[in-house]
Chain A
């Protein structure tokens, strides 16, 4: 079978390739443009204000706004998208807690855990205060000890006293 190609066919092929390339180029520019400079009304400060209230679900004890991992960069981008979609700060925090648990917030959102977390130290302090009060109350009825006998003296003092005694 003989395969022949004429000048017209070549010309048509070139036109098709150029059109495809142009479409690809425009499409690429549009995608790249979207990646480099997203058209957004949400500022970095708005994103960070929320990210600062959330802890990295992967690392320990690092807030999302300061965490340098790629995962946290993605989560910050997600917060940006959520803000753009109209979600409030409260809704975004709730969404993160629903997905990753109470460990992503500085104090748990679950009412029981929150009450336990914030109330327990004060309860412990109150118990300690009660114990101190009880001890002092009992002490008032206890006899006081005689002042401790002169403590065994230091070598320096011994030497001095020996010198003075002659």
Chain B
């Protein structure tokens, strides 16, 4: 029954999405009919309701173990805990595409509901573009990767998987299906997988809103800043979710993949990073258009490039374009996804060029100084785009071109990325430090220098502390100096503002900080984000340049040393059976520092007997402090006596700053997106002039 509900609801939602596109375009462009446009709007809500029904049907099927549905059979098993039954919704291709469709449809419905009255002129076109994207993804779910197909036994005994029941077929026995059910991919049986994919998907699909409003502006001819106003918070929300998705993905890799790191420069990791880079460039550059009426074409290009990168990332992840551990499913969606990506990018580019050729995207001001904030933001955009180019080339360009035209396979790994990207990141951190102290319009080097004096002095003091703690590598010191400067600028600018307000209003410093943040959340949220990025930078430099690793075999009772730590192997607990059926081999070790016991850690290997692929996971044991992580992997052990075991041990300095910096980044983004309805100047003036009540 659930399969039938899902099938019908999915198909109807596809029709409703198509209808929303057609009614909106016809009503606005051809019939000039409000009724058609409103009908198109209502179809957006109907699509969302229907796709929600389909998604809930699949979720219920997973929770109630309906193994006749092939998707449920392939991603769950009777011994799986409820949490992983829930996360199994996005545990494989078909379910994750349905979940994606549900999210993108939700964003479309939310944006329509929130902006229908305020931005009436843009809405029909925005709906058309949003719902075209929604229809495409629901179409993939309905026609190519349908999660509601079921197992049937034909009269001749053949077992098939079809959406509709074949003539004379019977359903396999429930007990047999339950016995043979695959279970979720072991790599996905982690708490991080309950959060990381939804965050990443929300980040990806969220960018459909700024894209649709930019396209609506181009199509409707309303090229004022309306499309920017309406889409700014949506873009910030999408950026926040994407940042969270990337951070959680890094944390998941660190906890589950068992290689001591958080970022492997894997093509699919990079694919998710690419939209973040152009999206970040857009969030900066859009301020120039708002403040100075400049870079109109460029902003259109960036917002379209961001969504185009999202679709490309999805295409690369799901089509197996470049193989990696993430390409968990390959199917027939590659060609349609490529066609959609190409068509969307081509039409968008054509619309921009058309409007530009008509002189409708001309800037209102010129650049006056290379030290002005707008010029520095342009430079910042250039660096973001350069990073995009370098990472795209390393992940996709070079491997694909070498295979297609040079008949050879190459992999550009961490070696390549660590040679090409650091100069660009250095430039980015320098700009992050300098741009906030520059001014719009005309700015001078002398003025910027004065504003940078205190942050530079604080950076020098901080750097001295690093040197005092033993950091002598010139590369590391240079990196720390740049990152510290960018972080201190954010702190000093915030404190400077708070002190000025405190003087003016005789408030406490905390009250002044709060008042500043709520009165100008964009600026102070932005500083907080910069601070978070600076802290992440410290973590990245420390954990990359100062990581120490060793691999040794110990007998029970023996110890090994690494850095300031000693590690004693106490015992091995073999064949421990967990509730979900996994078999665990757990090593118990004692961590000592200066002879004193400070922790007990339990690295382990999990074996999943029922899993068909990748049935072993290496879970690290870690002792975490702000200073570093002692990260231990159980590599091997003596099967019979369990007397000897081999451990791979890492010390990852400052790695926890990455996660703490991430939290600050999230707080800053939330602050920047904090809704504050400002009154236009003329309204404020009118309010001031109005007679005050007695």
Contacts and interface: CB of A to CB of B under 8 A. Distances in A.
Interface of A: 43-45, 48, 53, 55, 59-63, 66, 68, 101-108, 110, 113, 116-118, 120-122, 124-125, 128-129, 132, 136, 139-140, 142-149, 151-157, 160-161, 164
A43 B365 CA distance: 65
Given A105-B415, A153-B680, A113 B118 contact: no
Given A102-B410, A136-B367, A61 B223 contact: no
B408 A113 contact: yes
Contacts, number: 156
B382 interface: yes
Given A120-B393, A128-B385, A139-B366, A151 B226 contact: yes
A136 B382 CA distance: 13
Contacts of B467: none
A7 B685 CA distance: 126
Given A107-B415, A156-B677, A161-B683, 4 more contacts: A66-B259, A106-B414, A145-B364, A154-B119
B611 to A, nearest CB: 14
B551 interface: yes
Contact of B386 (A53, A66, A110, A128): A128
Please provide the 3 A-B residue pairs with the shortest distance between their CB atoms, ordered closest to farther. Answer: A106-B415, A106-B413, A151-B224
Contacts of A45: 549-551
A63 B413 contact: yes
25 contacts: A44-B550, A44-B551, A44-B646, A45-B549, A53-B415, A55-B413, A59-B325, A60-B325, A66-B259, A101-B409, A103-B410, A105-B413, A105-B415, A117-B416, A121-B386, A121-B389, A128-B386, A132-B382, A136-B367, A144-B363, A145-B359, A147-B364, A148-B223, A148-B364, A151-B229
B389 A124 contact: yes
Interface stretch (B18-26, B48-56, B394-402): B394-402
A61 B409 contact: no
Given A60-B325, A68-B616, A68-B618, A144 B362 contact: yes
Contact of A145 (B363, B394, B551): B363
Contacts of A143: 362
B648 to A, nearest CB: 8
A157 B410 contact: no
Interface string B323-354: 11101000000000000000000000000000
Contacts of A136: 367
A120 B401 CA distance: 12
A50 B616 CA distance: 24
Contacts of B394: 117, 121
A160 B411 contact: no
Contacts of B550: 44-45
A61 B258 contact: no
Contacts of A128: 382, 385-386, 389
Contact of A155 (B118, B402, B410): B118
Contacts of B118: 154-156
Nearest to B359: A145
A2 B551 CA distance: 67
Contact of A113 (B259, B260, B367, B410): B410
A110 to B, nearest CB: 8
B362 A145 contact: yes
Contact of B226 (A48, A63, A125, A152): A152
Nearest to B679: A160
Contact of A108 (B386, B410, B414, B646): B410
Contacts of B397: 120
Contacts of B578: none
Q: Is the interface of B mostly helix, strand, loop or mixed?
A: loop
B225 interface: yes
Contacts of B365: 144
B406 interface: yes
Contacts of A155: 117-118
A63 B325 CA distance: 12
Interface in B356-403: 359, 362-367, 378, 382, 385-386, 389-390, 393-394, 397-398, 402
A122 B416 CA distance: 12
A106 B412 CA distance: 5
B409 A107 contact: no
B687 interface: yes
B267 interface: yes
A134 to B, nearest CB: 13
A140 B365 CA distance: 10
Nearest to A136: B367
B264 interface: yes
A34 B409 CA distance: 38
Given A139-B366, A148-B223, A148-B293, A48 B551 contact: yes
A20 B408 CA distance: 55
Nearest to A46: B551
B690 interface: yes
B398 A125 contact: no
Given A66-B259, A164-B683, A106 B121 contact: no
A143 B364 CA distance: 9
A102 B412 contact: no
A61 B618 CA distance: 18
B420 interface: yes
Contact of B411 (A48, A55, A68, A156): A55
A120 B420 CA distance: 10
B234 to A, nearest CB: 15
Contact of A129 (B225, B266, B382): B382
B162 interface: no
Interface in B274-306: 293
B594 interface: no
A118 B224 CA distance: 42
A27 B406 CA distance: 52
Given A118-B416, A129-B382, A152-B222, A146 B117 contact: no
A154 B411 CA distance: 51
B175 interface: no
Nearest to B677: A156
A61 B264 contact: yes
A139 B390 contact: no
Q: Which of A48, A101, A106, A129 is the most central at the interface, judged by chain B CB atoms within 10 Å of its CB? A: A106
A117 B690 CA distance: 67
Nearest to A124: B389
Nearest to A143: B362
A164 B690 CA distance: 8
Contact of A62 (B322, B325, B386, B389): B325
B255 to A, nearest CB: 15
Contacts of B382: 128-129, 132
Contacts of A101: 408-410
Contacts of B260: 66
Interface string B669-680: 000000001011
B575 interface: no
A157 B224 contact: no
Contacts of A121: 386, 389-390, 393-394, 420
A3 B359 CA distance: 115
A21 to B, nearest CB: 22
A102 B322 CA distance: 16
Contacts of B450: none
A148 B121 CA distance: 17
B547 to A, nearest CB: 11
Contacts of A122: 420
